[in-house]
Amino acid sequence: MKIGLISGEFPPMPGGVGDFTRSLAESLCDHGHEVHILSRSGSTIANLNVSAVRGWGASSLPAIRAWARHLGLDIVNLQYQTAAFDMSPYIHFLPAAVDTALVTTFHDLRYPYLFPKAGRLRDWIVKRLAHSSAGVITTNHEDDIRLSRLPNRRLIPIGSSIPSANCSDSAAFAARWREPAKANSFVLGHFGFVKSVKGIDYLIEALATLRSAGHDLRLLFIGARRNNVDSKEDADYLRALEDRIEQLGLADAIDWTGYLTDREVAACFQAIDLMALPFTDGASYRRSSLIAAIHSGCAILTTEPSVPVAPFVHGSNLWLVPRCSADALTGAILQLMSDREKLKRLRTGAVNLRAQFDWDVIARETVALYQMII
């Protein structure tokens, strides 16, 4: 099968959707399919066929149509995330602009910016994309519920691009940022870009409370702070967070790694004691940082899902607390710091859970939907 994947972001640009698209492409190639990728300028991976468009404005639609025709694609799969397409409305009209059957994978259902006071039109344009696509893939339970009336729909979770780390990698990475004075500290980790939905402000407050009570606790932010396509709102949140860290006197208790390779991220995951991901909208399949932590077998503290997610079991594979509560995070961290057996149980549970997000399974499920559509 000749498959076209379209993503608003792609390596070397950092971003979860770009990493997903790369890993999916590689898995589809492993299954014997011919895969072509279309993304923005500067996108490239040595072992994949990657083309680029200059931007995601109106001119992108005829460019995409010409790309699909030239390659003789059997199917096109749009990896939809509004921010990755620069909040442009034009990508929502892609199903009518191409001759090839188009499947849309919804990484989120965030509305695009159209014009001031667009109101219901923003919701309509996203629903139009879903209804006009030949098939729809949802990556999480929340979006699957919202699109439940659509035919040709399948829930297929995202996987992780982060490889398993070996002991020497982890030890070498830990040595880079752990000073002798920090060697015995309990280390919290956070992975992913800094955005308001990540709930990091609550985590910072919990860290301040525990340190003021005399607990030897540190926080390591793993990876880049910002994505190139982040909104002004995200940038403002990051600045406010940095100001709050200074106000609370936490600068010496917090480390930022900056951008890391996947191998370095994997090593860093093994060097922390507890991954803290306090999403304000709850634990979800849509969170690539959570999936990466599960894949790496981390002990994970996160927030209760907003809708039922059967595989997530409190105390077994995740430690779940109420959303938007610094007090809940404080109590959970304190409990887990003093109980190594609970941490061990969470790591074992995460290892058992990662089969849900295996790339071979993801590729087979995706191909099955493609074949049904064709």
Tens digit of each residue's pLDDT, the chain (374 residues): 999 999 999 988 877 889 899 999 999 999 999 999 999 988 888 899 999 999 999 999 999 999 999 999 999 999 998 878 887 889 999 999 999 999 999 987 654 444 344 444 556 678 889 999 999 999 999 989 988 999 899 999 999 888 776 655 555 555 555 565 566 899 999 999 999 999 999 999 999 999 999 999 999 999 988 766 556 788 899 999 999 999 999 999 999 999 888 888 999 999 899 999 999 999 999 898 999 999 999 999 999 999 999 999 999 999 999 999 999 999 999 999 999 999 999 999 999 999 999 999 999 999 999 999 99
Instruction: Considering only CA atoms, give the Rg of the chain.
Output: 21
Ranges of beta strands (E only) in 43-99 are 49-53, 75-80
Residue with tokens 């259902």: 109
State both tokens at 200: 């990091």
Identity of the residue numbered 349: G
- On the CB side of 39, CA atoms within 13 Å amount to 28
What is the reported pTM? 0.85
Residue with tokens 């396509």: 229
Length of the chain as a residue count: 374
State both tokens at 369: 């939907």
